[in-house]
Every structure is written in C-alpha cells, then in structure tokens.
C-alpha cells in the first residue's frame, strides 16, 4: 500500500517567463507561476482542488505514475487522509459498513473519514488505522 498520495507534475518554462504546470495523471489540473516555487505552490493547490472535486463527483482517483522530468507534488493533508483511508479500505475489500462495525461507530461517521473536509482527530485516525491493520505515521516534509 502506498503511504502517501502524490502526483508527478511537469513544469514547462514559458518564453515570457514563469512556468506552466500540468499533471499527466490528472489532466484537468493545470496551473502556472512566475517562479518555480510559486508554480509548485500553485500546483499543490490545483491538485488538491481537482482531487476534492473528483471525490465529490464520485470519479476515479488514478494511481500516480512517475513521469520523466516530473516533480512529485502532494495535495493538502485533508485530501491525503480521505484518500488513504478509502484506498486502504478498498484494497482490503472492506465496505464502509464493515469498517464502521470494526470501529464500533455508525456508517455515516466512517463515510465522513473519506471526505476531504471531515477534519478527523488524531485519535480517530489512529483507531481507523488500527481497524485497517495499519499504523498512523505523521511526517513533516
């Protein structure tokens, strides 16, 4: 199982200056920036927004592929949490109801864990990870 959600971004220098950023795995995610740093900051923002929209629409979230010359970009932590919980649960072939029973909580409570705006507590995340046979590890990069 992947331990982080990240996608390869391609930065293309523009003749007038700045960079355009695209994500081959998330084609609707396109942005730009006057500097490399600004472009990468904007890339994280647009990636987050596009993944949130896909989650809300029930669209597929593709696996990330490394792109030659690409730079890994991570979405915001709230999207990371929602996607990691969902991917882990789905990889194990478990339903929301099964996870809810394992956590001794309601189905809607578990469903919220897979939504980017849920803002679960660390305790909830630790219990969820344990119910999925995983450990919660927090990292600052």
Q: Position of tokens 């999925």?
A: 132
CB–CB of 19/36 below 8 Å?
Answer: yes
DSSP 65-95: ---TT-EEE---HHHHHHHHHHHHHHHTT--
Residue 6 pLDDT level (bands cut at 50, 70, 90): very high
Helix axes 96-103, 122-131, angle to 10 degrees: 110
The CA distance from 39 to 29, in Å, is 12
What are 34's two structure tokens? 């006057």
The pLDDT of residue 38 is 97
Whole-structure pTM value: 0.86
The CA distance from 71 to 21, in Å, is 10
The enclosing H or E element of 46 equals helix 36-57
Domains of the chain (ranges; CATH) run: 7-73 (3.30.160.250), 77-131 (1.10.260.40)
Q: What is the pLDDT of residues 83-132, one digit of tens each?
A: 999 999 999 999 999 999 999 999 999 999 999 888 899 999 999 999 99
The enclosing H or E element of 72 equals strand 71-73
The CA distance from 104 to 37, in Å, is 44
| 55: nearest Cα among 135, 122, 112 | 112
């Amino acid at each position: 199982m992947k331990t982080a959600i990240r996608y390869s971004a391609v930065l293309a220098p523009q003749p007038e200056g700045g960079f355009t950023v695209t994500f081959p795995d998330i084609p609707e995610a396109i942005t730009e920036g006057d500097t490399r740093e600004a472009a990468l900051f904007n890339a994280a923002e647009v990636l987050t927004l596009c993944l949130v929209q896909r989650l809300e629409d029930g669209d597929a979230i593709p696996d990330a592929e490394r792109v030659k010359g690409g730079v890994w970009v991570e979405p915001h932590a709230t999207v990371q949490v929602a996607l990691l919980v969902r991917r882990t649960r789905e990889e194990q072939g478990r339903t929301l109801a099964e996870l809810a029973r394992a956590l001794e909580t309601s189905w809607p409570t578990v469903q919220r864990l897979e939504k980017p705006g849920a803002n679960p507590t660390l305790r909830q995340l630790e219990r969820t990870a344990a119910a999925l046979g995983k450990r919660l590890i927090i990292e600052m990069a």
